[in-house]
Structure 1
């Protein structure tokens, strides 16, 4: 009989690429991961890994077993959901990942709704860039998370995960000057301006760069800042222009002009495949939908 815990290790190796990365993500030692995978090979009766020096790759049999592991893990999530549903009431920790603007604009109201409807649940919120959510969910560090994507940066399909739309918001070009509430503009108008972007490796940074490239230029980046309130303060100080989503405009300085862009950011609720029917996941999803601020569109 194949051990589910070892199947999870094999799945993580297929996604992360190295035994060291799997060990770090799941709080094991590399030697422990290697030993467990060796045991899984003996259980399977065929080679699952090819070792070349320090590198390890999956054999065709290993890749095929990973596909079955995905289905097994999803069914286990569904089984866990049904067991919880059979009990009376929801209780215990609920680990929620979110990004900063949603933490401020959506999550507090959602937690108020959740506490009223399910006082036994203990929500635990952690801020995390959407780019890191998939690994955290698969590793069991989070139960549910808010993620976002942009028109120019769609999220890739992630093995073992599922997501449902929450809301959609307008993107703006923030520039120094008196507010005008102008109509949509061509980004190329700002090709010679200094730009303020998020830090490299984030979806927000990739969105700005790709949107500018689609307009025919590469942005000349002066500052790299993740917090939108600080970004807007720098814009007001004449330090450059930036792209900011609607939820990032709470602390808008008076000396900033906003111009609508033909770009939207969409927020989704992500969880492990098969966990959508878990009562706790369904409860926070319902609370999040109830907490979406007025003026935001559907997340599709």
Structure 2
């Protein structure tokens, strides 16, 4: 009989690429991971891994077994959801991953509603970049997470994970107000037009020679800005790399460059030193969880609380609609 825990290790190796990465993610030693995979090979009765220099890769039999492992793990999540439903009354920890703007603007209201309806549930929020969510969910470090995608950075399908749409946001080009006007109308941040906007390429090209402020490399926000500029015909000259949008806007106000920011990143009092121009692109936010866990009462309750907490000005631009 194949051991589920060893199947999980094989699945993680297929996703992470190295035994060292699997060991770090699952808090094992590399030798322990290798040992358990060797046992799994003996249980399977044929080679699942082959050496490639200093690394390993899955054999065709190993790749096929990973596909079966995904199905097995999904069924186990469904079984866990059924048991939780049968027990009645939600209790215990719910580990939530969320990115900063959602953590500030939406998650607190959702947690208030969740506490009123399910006082025995203990939500535990960790700020997590969406690029790191898939591994954290598969490793069991998170139970549910908010993830986002941009028009220029679409989400890739993640084996073992499922998502549900939550909302969409407008995107803005933030520039110092002292600069010459963009070739478009600037729209107020309080009432963005979800169906219209500026000539995006023209707006971005106006700032082709300006210094840019982006998120740190490796994040979806960084890739979004770079790809949007490249689609407009230039590569941005990056001066500052900052992840917090409030700080990004402060740098823009100080004349340090221009940036692309999402709607939730520009909430708060208007800053006369910053001019915001509505772009055609959007950021879409989804709820992510392990395949089979969508019916878990705690995951479903958190999802319902999140949807109720979405601000009205975002509700008309929900992801997937």
Superposition TM-score tier, normalisation by shorter sequence: over 0.9
Specify the alignment match of 2:224 in structure 1: 207
Inter-partner Cα distance in structure 1 for 2:166 and 2:207:
31
Instruction: Give the conservation status (yes or no) of the 8 Å contact 1:233–1:253.
Output: no
Inter-partner Cα distance in structure 1 for 2:246 and 2:96:
23
Specify the alignment match of 2:166 in structure 1: 166
> Residue 265 of structure 2 is aligned with which of 248, 271, 275?
248
Gaps of 5+ in 2: 188-196
Q: How does 1:276-291 map to 2 (within 5 A)?
A: 276-291=294-309
Say whether residues 1:184 and 2:184 are aligned partners. no
Specify the alignment match of 1:118 in structure 2: 118
Inter-partner Cα distance in structure 1 for 2:111 and 2:142:
16
Q: How does 1:2-13 map to 2 (within 5 A)?
A: 2-13=2-13
Inter-partner Cα distance in structure 2 for 1:51 and 1:213:
39
Specify the alignment match of 2:248 in structure 1: 231
Q: TM-score with structure 1 length normalisation?
A: 0.98
Secondary structure at the counterpart of residue 281 of structure 1: helix
CA offset digits 1:143-178 (Å, max 9, x no partner) = 000000000000100110000100000000001117
Q: Give the total of aligned pairs.
A: 300
Instruction: Give the conservation status (yes or no) of the 8 Å contact 1:18–1:56.
Output: yes
Instruction: Give the conservation status (yes or no) of the 8 Å contact 1:77–1:275.
Output: yes
Inter-partner Cα distance in structure 1 for 2:88 and 2:255:
58
Question: Which consecutive segments of 4 or more residues in structure 1 shift more than 4 A?
Answer: none
Deviation for aligned residue 1:52: 3.5
Inter-partner Cα distance in structure 2 for 1:292 and 1:58:
43
Inter-partner Cα distance in structure 2 for 1:137 and 1:158:
11
Secondary structure at the counterpart of residue 295 of structure 1: helix
Specify the alignment match of 1:194 in structure 2: 211
Inter-partner Cα distance in structure 1 for 2:243 and 2:271:
17
Specify the alignment match of 1:32 in structure 2: 32
CA RMSD of aligned residues (A): 1.2
Inter-partner Cα distance in structure 2 for 1:12 and 1:230:
36
CA offset digits 1:47-79 (Å, max 9, x no partner) = 111124421111110000000000000000000
Instruction: Give the conservation status (yes or no) of the 8 Å contact 1:96–1:125.
Output: yes
Gaps of 5+ in 1: none
Secondary structure at the counterpart of residue 28 of structure 1: coil
Secondary structure at the counterpart of residue 312 of structure 2: coil
Deviation for aligned residue 1:250: 2.1
Instruction: Give the conservation status (yes or no) of the 8 Å contact 1:50–1:56.
Output: yes
Inter-partner Cα distance in structure 2 for 1:232 and 1:253:
9
Inter-partner Cα distance in structure 2 for 1:279 and 1:202:
31
Specify the alignment match of 1:298 in structure 2: 318
Secondary structure at the counterpart of residue 173 of structure 1: strand
CA offset digits 1:76-135 (Å, max 9, x no partner) = 000000000001200000000000000000000000010011111000000010000000
